[in-house]
Amino acid sequence: MRLPNPTTTPAQAVWPVAIGEAAHRAGVSARMLRHYETLGLLPSVARNDSGYRQYSAKDVHALRFIRRCRDLGFSMQEIAQLLELWRNQQRSSAQVKQIAQQHIEQLQERIAALQTMQRSLEGLVACCRGDERPDCPILDDLAAP
Report domain extents, the chain: 12-91, 93-145
User: Would you identify the CATH topology of the domain 12-91?
Assistant: Multidrug-efflux Transporter Regulator; Chain: A; Domain 2 (1.10.1660)
Q: pLDDT class for 7, splitting at 50, 70, 90?
A: low
pLDDT tens digits along 8-61: 554 556 999 999 999 999 999 999 999 999 999 998 899 999 999 999 999 999
Q: Residue 72 above 70 pLDDT?
A: yes
- How far is the C-alpha of 115 from the C-alpha of 109, rounded, in Å? 10
pLDDT tens digits along 82-124: 999 999 999 999 999 999 999 999 999 999 999 999 999 999 9
Q: Residue 125 above 70 pLDDT?
A: yes
